[in-house]
Protein backbone atom coordinates (compact mmCIF):
# COMPACT_ATOMS: atom_id res chain seq x y z
CA UNK A 1 0.00 0.00 0.00
CA UNK A 2 1.20 3.49 -0.87
CA UNK A 3 -0.68 6.25 0.97
CA UNK A 4 0.77 9.77 0.94
CA UNK A 5 4.07 7.95 0.45
CA UNK A 6 5.68 10.65 -1.70
CA UNK A 7 7.56 12.62 0.96
CA UNK A 8 8.24 15.46 -1.48
CA UNK A 9 4.56 16.43 -1.51
CA UNK A 10 2.67 18.36 1.19
CA UNK A 11 -0.22 16.66 3.00
CA UNK A 12 -2.95 18.11 5.22
CA UNK A 13 -5.49 15.77 6.84
CA UNK A 14 -8.43 16.21 9.19
CA UNK A 15 -7.92 12.96 11.06
CA UNK A 16 -11.42 13.12 12.57
CA UNK A 17 -12.81 12.58 9.06
CA UNK A 18 -10.77 9.42 8.42
CA UNK A 19 -12.29 5.97 8.93
CA UNK A 20 -11.04 3.57 11.60
CA UNK A 21 -9.68 0.49 9.82
CA UNK A 22 -9.43 -2.85 11.66
CA UNK A 23 -5.92 -4.18 12.27
CA UNK A 24 -5.09 -7.92 12.27
CA UNK A 25 -5.84 -7.97 16.03
CA UNK A 26 -9.42 -7.70 17.35
CA UNK A 27 -10.08 -4.45 19.16
CA UNK A 28 -7.17 -2.55 17.56
CA UNK A 29 -8.07 -0.05 14.82
CA UNK A 30 -6.07 2.44 12.78
CA UNK A 31 -6.49 5.73 10.98
CA UNK A 32 -3.82 5.73 8.27
CA UNK A 33 -1.97 9.01 7.69
CA UNK A 34 0.90 7.85 5.51
CA UNK A 35 2.06 4.36 4.64
CA UNK A 36 4.47 2.55 2.34
CA UNK A 37 4.25 -1.22 2.63
CA UNK A 38 1.78 -3.79 3.84
CA UNK A 39 1.42 -4.95 7.48
CA UNK A 40 5.11 -4.27 8.08
CA UNK A 41 5.39 -0.74 6.68
CA UNK A 42 6.90 2.67 6.95
CA UNK A 43 3.83 4.23 8.49
CA UNK A 44 2.32 7.10 10.43
CA UNK A 45 -1.05 6.29 12.03
CA UNK A 46 -3.49 6.94 14.79
CA UNK A 47 -4.03 3.64 16.59
CA UNK A 48 -6.98 2.96 18.91
CA UNK A 49 -6.94 0.10 21.41
CA UNK A 50 -10.30 -1.00 22.80
CA UNK A 51 -10.31 -1.91 26.50
CA UNK A 52 -8.60 -5.26 26.99
CA UNK A 53 -7.09 -5.42 23.50
CA UNK A 54 -3.49 -6.32 22.75
CA UNK A 55 -0.90 -6.99 20.06
CA UNK A 56 1.32 -10.10 20.12
CA UNK A 57 5.05 -9.72 20.82
CA UNK A 58 6.78 -8.15 17.84
CA UNK A 59 10.09 -6.56 16.86
CA UNK A 60 10.53 -3.08 15.44
CA UNK A 61 12.99 -3.48 12.61
CA UNK A 62 12.86 0.26 11.86
CA UNK A 63 12.00 1.54 15.32
CA UNK A 64 8.80 2.94 16.80
CA UNK A 65 7.87 6.41 18.05
CA UNK A 66 4.55 7.31 19.64
CA UNK A 67 2.63 9.85 21.69
CA UNK A 68 -0.26 8.69 23.88
CA UNK A 69 -3.25 10.93 23.10
CA UNK A 70 -5.93 9.34 25.28
CA UNK A 71 -6.15 6.58 27.88
CA UNK A 72 -3.25 4.39 28.99
CA UNK A 73 -1.00 2.33 26.72
CA UNK A 74 0.97 -0.53 28.28
CA UNK A 75 3.64 -3.11 27.56
CA UNK A 76 5.85 -5.37 29.65
CA UNK A 77 8.04 -2.37 30.55
CA UNK A 78 5.33 -0.16 32.01
CA UNK A 79 2.12 1.84 31.74
CA UNK A 80 2.05 5.10 29.77
CA UNK A 81 -0.78 7.54 30.40
CA UNK A 82 -2.00 10.28 28.06
CA UNK A 83 0.83 12.71 27.41
CA UNK A 84 3.55 10.04 27.37
CA UNK A 85 6.10 10.20 24.54
CA UNK A 86 8.12 7.07 23.76
CA UNK A 87 10.76 5.92 21.30
CA UNK A 88 11.64 2.23 20.97
CA UNK A 89 14.81 2.01 18.83
CA UNK A 90 15.59 -0.18 15.84
CA UNK A 91 15.70 -3.83 16.93
CA UNK A 92 13.58 -3.39 20.06
CA UNK A 93 10.59 -5.61 20.79
CA UNK A 94 7.54 -5.59 23.06
CA UNK A 95 4.01 -6.91 23.51
CA UNK A 96 1.67 -3.87 23.77
CA UNK A 97 -1.81 -3.83 25.28
CA UNK A 98 -4.31 -1.53 26.96
CA UNK A 99 -6.45 -2.46 29.94
CA UNK A 100 -8.80 0.53 29.79
CA UNK A 101 -8.28 1.52 26.14
CA UNK A 102 -6.15 4.22 24.53
CA UNK A 103 -5.37 6.16 21.36
CA UNK A 104 -1.81 6.85 20.20
CA UNK A 105 -0.09 8.72 17.38
CA UNK A 106 2.57 6.29 16.15
CA UNK A 107 5.37 6.31 13.58
CA UNK A 108 6.97 3.03 12.47
CA UNK A 109 10.09 2.14 10.46
CA UNK A 110 11.39 5.72 10.44
CA UNK A 111 14.41 5.70 12.79
CA UNK A 112 18.11 5.78 12.03
CA UNK A 113 19.61 2.43 13.11
CA UNK A 114 22.37 4.22 15.04
CA UNK A 115 19.82 6.13 17.14
CA UNK A 116 19.59 3.54 19.90
CA UNK A 117 18.35 5.73 22.76
CA UNK A 118 15.08 4.53 24.30
CA UNK A 119 13.03 7.57 25.28
CA UNK A 120 10.15 7.70 27.76
CA UNK A 121 8.89 11.16 28.77
CA UNK A 122 5.81 12.10 30.79
CA UNK A 123 5.12 15.46 29.16
CA UNK A 124 2.62 16.37 31.88
CA UNK A 125 5.40 16.65 34.48
CA UNK A 126 8.25 18.02 32.35
CA UNK A 127 9.28 21.68 32.32
CA UNK A 128 8.61 23.77 29.23
CA UNK A 129 11.24 26.18 27.92
CA UNK A 130 10.78 29.66 26.45
CA UNK A 131 10.44 29.65 22.67
CA UNK A 132 12.11 31.91 20.13
CA UNK A 133 9.30 34.49 20.24
CA UNK A 134 7.10 35.84 23.01
CA UNK A 135 4.10 33.61 23.69
CA UNK A 136 5.83 30.42 22.54
CA UNK A 137 6.88 27.57 24.87
CA UNK A 138 8.75 24.43 23.81
CA UNK A 139 9.10 21.00 25.41
CA UNK A 140 11.97 19.20 23.62
CA UNK A 141 11.39 15.44 23.28
CA UNK A 142 14.26 14.08 21.20
CA UNK A 143 17.03 15.07 18.83
CA UNK A 144 19.30 12.98 16.64
CA UNK A 145 21.27 14.38 13.74
CA UNK A 146 19.03 16.84 11.91
CA UNK A 147 15.86 15.36 13.48
CA UNK A 148 14.17 17.33 16.29
CA UNK A 149 10.91 16.42 18.04
CA UNK A 150 9.05 18.67 20.48
CA UNK A 151 5.75 19.85 21.84
CA UNK A 152 5.15 23.53 21.16
CA UNK A 153 2.58 25.63 23.01
CA UNK A 154 1.28 28.85 21.45
CA UNK A 155 -0.39 31.54 23.58
CA UNK A 156 -3.32 33.31 21.90
CA UNK A 157 -2.10 35.82 19.34
CA UNK A 158 1.41 34.37 19.00
CA UNK A 159 3.07 34.90 15.60
CA UNK A 160 6.31 33.22 14.44
CA UNK A 161 8.60 34.61 11.78
CA UNK A 162 8.76 33.37 8.21
CA UNK A 163 11.11 30.38 8.11
CA UNK A 164 11.96 27.31 6.07
CA UNK A 165 12.39 23.62 6.82
CA UNK A 166 15.26 22.19 4.72
CA UNK A 167 14.59 18.71 6.15
CA UNK A 168 10.80 18.98 6.19
CA UNK A 169 8.30 19.35 9.02
CA UNK A 170 5.46 17.26 10.42
CA UNK A 171 2.78 18.61 12.78
CA UNK A 172 -0.10 17.10 14.72
CA UNK A 173 -2.42 19.64 16.37
CA UNK A 174 -3.22 18.44 19.90
CA UNK A 175 -5.29 21.38 21.19
CA UNK A 176 -6.63 24.66 19.84
CA UNK A 177 -6.16 25.97 16.31
CA UNK A 178 -2.84 26.30 14.46
CA UNK A 179 -2.61 28.60 11.42
CA UNK A 180 -0.34 29.72 8.62
CA UNK A 181 -0.74 31.51 5.30
CA UNK A 182 -1.82 28.22 3.71
CA UNK A 183 -4.73 27.38 6.02
CA UNK A 184 -6.33 26.90 9.43
CA UNK A 185 -5.82 23.62 11.29
CA UNK A 186 -7.96 22.68 14.32
CA UNK A 187 -7.16 19.95 16.84
CA UNK A 188 -6.77 16.59 15.10
CA UNK A 189 -5.12 18.07 12.00
CA UNK A 190 -2.00 16.33 10.65
CA UNK A 191 0.34 18.24 8.35
CA UNK A 192 3.47 17.20 6.50
CA UNK A 193 5.56 19.92 4.85
CA UNK A 194 8.21 18.61 2.44
CA UNK A 195 11.91 19.54 2.50
CA UNK A 196 12.42 23.13 1.39
CA UNK A 197 8.95 24.30 2.45
CA UNK A 198 8.47 27.79 3.92
CA UNK A 199 5.70 29.27 6.05
CA UNK A 200 4.84 31.88 8.68
CA UNK A 201 2.73 30.22 11.41
CA UNK A 202 0.56 31.81 14.08
CA UNK A 203 -2.36 31.04 16.38
CA UNK A 204 -5.15 33.49 17.10
CA UNK A 205 -6.78 31.43 19.85
CA UNK A 206 -3.74 29.47 21.07
CA UNK A 207 -2.79 25.84 20.46
CA UNK A 208 -0.49 22.98 21.37
CA UNK A 209 1.20 20.96 18.64
CA UNK A 210 3.50 17.96 18.32
CA UNK A 211 6.13 18.89 15.77
CA UNK A 212 8.99 17.04 14.10
CA UNK A 213 11.54 18.66 11.80
CA UNK A 214 14.59 17.65 9.80
CA UNK A 215 13.56 14.01 9.35
CA UNK A 216 12.32 13.82 5.78
CA UNK A 217 14.80 12.46 3.20
CA UNK A 218 16.42 14.96 0.90
CA UNK A 219 19.29 13.19 -0.87
CA UNK A 220 20.89 9.79 -1.20
CA UNK A 221 24.45 9.53 0.08
CA UNK A 222 27.25 7.51 -1.53
CA UNK A 223 26.14 4.38 0.34
CA UNK A 224 22.56 4.83 -0.90
CA UNK A 225 21.27 5.82 2.53
CA UNK A 226 18.69 8.59 2.74
CA UNK A 227 19.79 11.70 4.58
CA UNK A 228 18.23 15.01 5.55
CA UNK A 229 19.49 18.54 5.35
CA UNK A 230 20.16 20.52 8.55
CA UNK A 231 17.06 22.16 9.94
CA UNK A 232 16.12 25.42 11.59
CA UNK A 233 15.09 25.40 15.28
CA UNK A 234 11.70 23.91 16.04
CA UNK A 235 8.89 26.41 15.57
What's the pLDDT tens digit per position in 133-183? 999 999 999 999 999 999 999 999 999 999 999 999 999 999 999 999 999
Backbone angles phi, psi at 119, to 5 degrees: -120, 135
CA-based nearest residue to 194, from 229, 231, 169:
169
What's the pLDDT tens digit per position in 18-60? 999 999 999 999 999 999 987 777 899 999 999 999 999 989 8
- Distance CA(140)–CA(67), nearest Å, equals 13
Higher pLDDT, 223 or 196: 196
Instruction: Collect all residues with Cβ–Cβ distance below 8 Å to 188 and sequence separation of at least 6.
Output: 14, 15, 16, 173
Backbone angles phi, psi at 125, to 5 degrees: -120, 20
- Distance CA(106)–CA(102), nearest Å, equals 12
- Distance CA(104)–CA(209), nearest Å, equals 15
Q: Is 62's pLDDT higher than 80?
A: yes
Residue 222's pLDDT band (boundaries 50, 70, 90)?
A: very low
High-pLDDT (> 70) share of the chain, %: 92
- Distance CA(152)–CA(71), nearest Å, equals 21
- Distance CA(43)–CA(111), nearest Å, equals 12
Domains defined along the chain, listed by start = 2-122 (2.60.120.10), 127-227 (2.60.120.10)
Q: Is 212's pLDDT higher than 90?
A: yes
Mean pLDDT of 111-122: 95
CA distances (Å), 71 to each of 11, 59, 140, 170, 219, in order?
Answer: 27, 24, 22, 24, 39
Higher pLDDT, 235 or 160: 160
Amino acid sequence: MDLHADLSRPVVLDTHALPWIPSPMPGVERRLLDRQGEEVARATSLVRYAPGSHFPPHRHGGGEEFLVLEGTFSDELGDYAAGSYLRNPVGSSHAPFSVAGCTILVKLQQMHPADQQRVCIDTRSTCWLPGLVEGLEVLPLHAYGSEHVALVRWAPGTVFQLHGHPGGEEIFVLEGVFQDEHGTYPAGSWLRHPPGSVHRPWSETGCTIWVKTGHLPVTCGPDGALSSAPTTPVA
